[in-house]
A and B are shown apart, each in its own frame.
Chain A
Amino acid sequence: MGEDGENTKINHSFLRDYVTEADVISTVEFNQTGDLLATGDKGGRVVIFQRETESKGESEELGESGEYNVYSTFQSHEPDFDYLKSLEIEEKINKIRWLPQQNAAHFLLSTNDKTIKLWKVSERDKRPEGYNLKDEEGRIKDISTVTSLRVPVLKPTDLMVEVRPRRIFANGHTYHVNSISVNSDGETYLSADDLRVNMWHLDITDRSFNIVDIKPANMEDLTEVITAAEFHPQHCHLFVYSSSKGTLRLCDMRDSALCDKHSKIFEEPEDPGNRSFFSEIISSVSDVKFSHSGRYLLTRDYLTVKVWDLNMEKGPVETYQVHEYLRSKLCSLYENDCIFDKFECVWNSTDSVIMTGAYNSFFRMFDRETGRGVTLEAWRESSKPRAVLRTRRIYTGGRRRRGDVGVDSLDFTKKILHMAWHPAENIIAIAATNNLYIFQDRVNAENM
């Protein structure tokens, strides 16, 4: 099912399990039609996959959609150095966002910790031939050999995908950029770092508007940072940002130029019974996503995913436990830094299912209508092409079934942080370290 779409950057070194750090995928994103899938990695590279279009012809075969193959690979960011602060700037791609397509070319924004770049991805499948002054290899012809004039013609060639940087939005951020979000107006986008949110115009690189600034006058008073931000999918004046304290703030840019004062603040009072040293860490929101409808917000903190209704600020409307069995292990997760892992969360196309990642190559899907969740695994050994994903279970007590995984045998190095859901169909892309898994939902099993 997903094997053909796997990332071809798998390290084939003699140590089978050795993973080059640079190959670790750090972001996954479908474009608006779902035909293109972009991944960014820690080495600063972007790989774009394209879905093959199947000519169905007369066949009514459902679900036999095309598979994703590599379309283009390019180096988006290079390691950089801030000379003023003597700091190295990682080339890891933190986020990729596609722009809505307006012509034959595709545009995407990619960002590392400091710099956002706009890339133009275009195809070229024709080239001009028949120049008068140069030959086929491009060498200048000897004029004396030219006896007649001709008009160069475009001849089809092999498909070439060109990727060129069109804009470089640099020096906008003092702190590490964690999110970018394209506005529905098609002209602007926002970028958020730990303390500020900037709004850029896609055509203007030498300036940006600062729309949120939570940096205190005295840094010692710092108590929370911005962890994610996103524009509303329909209303171009609304955006939301999440904080490390677990709050969400909805801001309306019509209120004022600087949106430090939120229009709405969504927070859930902490459960005093669960208080521990690590309460603050696990309440930090790692990802926030608007639903496609624009009515709901999806947030991920360390142990749960929550659905919030924009009309109700006092608490989430739904809360799903992702891996509650880890609550007793917070101390060791703190020691090995796993408690700082930032998991992403996604909606499906109809906002009826939400998905997020976990450890041991597991990821979780929750059906909002039934409230039930399943655990699935993205692991090569158990995923043959066209195999049906079976659900997994974590053994936390009670009757243990065969195949249940004990909490202590979970592999915390295999974490599913990044994922994406196709905007229209039930196709998901899961990044597991340096592997990319693409799973499709086959509605009619009998056709397989």
Chain B
Amino acid sequence: MEYKVEAHRIMSISLGKIYNSRVQRGGIKLHKNLLVSLVLRSARQVYLSEYYSGACLNAQNEREGNEWDITDSEREKFPPSATECDRVESTEEPQQSEQSEKGRDYRENDDEVKSDQADSTSTLQQEQNQNSSLDSVAKVSSETPPETSNEPKESPSDSAVAESDSTPEANGESHQPPKTQRKRSAEESESGDSPQKRTKVASSNAEESEEAEEMDTSNVSNLITIFGSSFSGLLSKDGAKPEAEDSGQICCDQMLKNLNPWSTAIVAF
């Protein structure tokens, strides 16, 4: 669990760095921002894998027992190194539930929403494939009702194909990444269709502070919307360079990083 806390912390630190780079003298440093985005992606992958393990812990609520296998295999396959970051109880992970402002439909894929279900699930799948076995991908994916309609998810090849298909889509969107995500987040907060990962919700269920988190989520989502518009303005001003920091796969990353650690990032600023 501490990996998740650390991953979240690293993600918010990374976001802070990306933000600061825009106001730094001398323009955006491509190299540094690329490295920060790579760290962000790594942290996010850990975060995701932790979510699935978190879902496991709440298996009694909504998951089958095979999730446990997934968790263990995921953990084995992606062992984050222990760093000196403090091991705090994962009180932060319920922040992920901030997306579920209206507390509904926890089963959606966190990566994308609505129109980009294909993107998100395929990308998520791709990451899952990186992190876990094929079986786990299929099984975990099958948990999510909205996505099954889009993706077959039976085999990695399918998901790979789906990913490649959706990548141009994602790339196309990423041309205006901040704005697009901003719109999505705004929509999400309005409709309550939260891009909440199943595992996030599952893990948040486990937290006793979940109630408090949910109360905060509406405030946070408003903050996100407000902050997001100015942030996208900042990003668009810089033209091509901010785009350089994101890969097509990170289209979903931005979703996550915009939505979840924003609360921390926003508070920091």
Kindly identify which residue among A92, A218, A275, A331 contacts B10, using a CB–CB cutoff of 8 Å. Answer: A331
In chain B, positions 243-267 with a C-beta closer than 8 Å to chain A are: 243-248, 250-251
- Chain A residue with the shortest CB-CB distance to B16: A335
Question: How far is it, in angstroms, between the C-alpha of A217 and the C-alpha of B16 when the chains are bound?
Answer: 28
A328 touches B84 (CB 8 A): yes
B10 touches A219 (CB 8 A): no
In chain B, positions 4-35 with a C-beta closer than 8 Å to chain A are: 6-7, 10, 13, 17, 25-27, 29-32, 34-35
**B29 contacts which chain A residues (CB < 8 A)?**
176
Kindly identify which residue among A194, A223, A276 contacts B80, using a CB–CB cutoff of 8 Å. Answer: A276
Q: Count of A-B contacts with CB under 8 A?
A: 102
**Shortest distance between the CB of B27 and any CB in chain A (Å):** 4
**B38 contacts which chain A residues (CB < 8 A)?**
280-281
B84 touches A332 (CB 8 A): yes
- Given known contacts A90-B25, A331-B84, is B39 in contact with A277 (CB within 8 Å)? yes
In chain A, positions 37-54 with a C-beta closer than 8 Å to chain B are: none
- Given known contacts A328-B84, A331-B6, A340-B35, is B27 in contact with A220 (CB within 8 Å)? no
In chain A, positions 303-347 with a C-beta closer than 8 Å to chain B are: 328-332, 334-335, 337, 340
**A281 contacts which chain B residues (CB < 8 A)?**
35, 38-39
A222 touches B244 (CB 8 A): yes
Say whether A74 faces chain B, with CB atoms less than 8 Å apart: no
In chain B, positions 222-261 with a C-beta closer than 8 Å to chain A are: 237-240, 243-248, 250-251
Question: How far is it, in angstroms, between the C-alpha of A85 and the C-alpha of B239 when the chains are bound?
Answer: 8
**Shortest distance between the CB of A193 and any CB in chain B (Å):** 9
In chain B, positions 138-171 with a C-beta closer than 8 Å to chain A are: 170-171
**A405 contacts which chain B residues (CB < 8 A)?**
none
Kindly identify which residue among B35, B43, B174, B251 contacts A244, using a CB–CB cutoff of 8 Å. Answer: B35
- Chain B residue with the shortest CB-CB distance to A278: B39
**B170 contacts which chain A residues (CB < 8 A)?**
220
A195 touches B39 (CB 8 A): no
B10 touches A277 (CB 8 A): yes
- Given known contacts A277-B42, A281-B39, is B6 in contact with A221 (CB within 8 Å)? no
**B115 contacts which chain A residues (CB < 8 A)?**
none
Question: How far is it, in angstroms, between the C-alpha of A195 and the C-alpha of B241 when the chains are bound?
Answer: 12
Question: How far is it, in angstroms, between the C-alpha of A274 and the C-alpha of B29 when the chains are bound?
Answer: 27
Kindly identify which residue among A88, A275, A277, A280 contacts B26, using a CB–CB cutoff of 8 Å. Answer: A88
Kindly identify which residue among B39, B174, B238, B240 contacts A334, using a CB–CB cutoff of 8 Å. Answer: B39
Say whether B60 faces chain A, with CB atoms less than 8 Å apart: no
**B174 contacts which chain A residues (CB < 8 A)?**
220
Q: Which B residues are within 8 Å of any A CB, using their own CB?
A: 6-7, 10, 13, 17, 25-27, 29-32, 34-35, 38-39, 42-43, 46, 79-81, 83-85, 170-171, 174, 237-240, 243-248, 250-251
Q: Which A residues are within 8 Å of any B CB, using their own CB?
A: 82, 85-90, 92, 113, 175-176, 178, 194-195, 218-225, 227, 244, 274-278, 280-281, 284, 328-332, 334-335, 337, 340
Give the 10 A-B CB pairs with smallest separation, nearest first.
A276-B81, A90-B26, A87-B27, A331-B83, A219-B244, A194-B30, A220-B248, A280-B38, A219-B243, A281-B35
A-B contact pairs, 29 of them (CB 8 A): A85-B27, A85-B239, A88-B25, A89-B26, A113-B27, A176-B27, A194-B30, A219-B244, A220-B171, A220-B244, A220-B246, A220-B247, A221-B171, A222-B244, A244-B34, A244-B35, A274-B81, A276-B83, A277-B39, A277-B42, A277-B80, A277-B81, A280-B35, A280-B38, A280-B42, A281-B39, A329-B84, A335-B13, A340-B35
